[in-house]
Amino acid sequence: MRYWEACEAQVSAEDAIEECRIHGVLAAVRDDDKALVDEATGEVIAHADEVGEFYGADILGYLGY
């Protein structure tokens, strides 16, 4: 996938967690608000949309792209 396509993509929690893992970030979805968080720091990586998916640009931004 090209960078601009990844930025515009909506990704599932499983895909978001896997992408973070590939980049050395242990991520999980918080139970209370369904946000994707960095387990090491507690920092929010991305907030879920109304169907529980995450905006690709948020994840890429957190990973430093």
* Tens digit of each residue's pLDDT (9 = 90 or more) over 42-65: 999 999 999 999 999 999 999 988
pLDDT for 7 beyond 70: yes
According to the model, what pLDDT value does residue 30 have?
96
Per-residue pLDDT, averaged over 9-35, amounts to 95
Encode 5-61 in three state secondary structure. HHHHCEECHHHHHHHHHHCCCCEEECCCCCCEEECCCCCEEECCCCCCCEEHHHHHH
Instruction: Give domain limits for the chain.
Output: 3-63
Q: How far is the C-alpha of 64 from the C-alpha of 57, rounded, in Å?
A: 10
Q: How confident is the model at residue 4 (pLDDT cuts 50, 70, 90)?
A: confident
pTM listed for this prediction: 0.89
Give the H or E element holding residue 4: helix 3-8
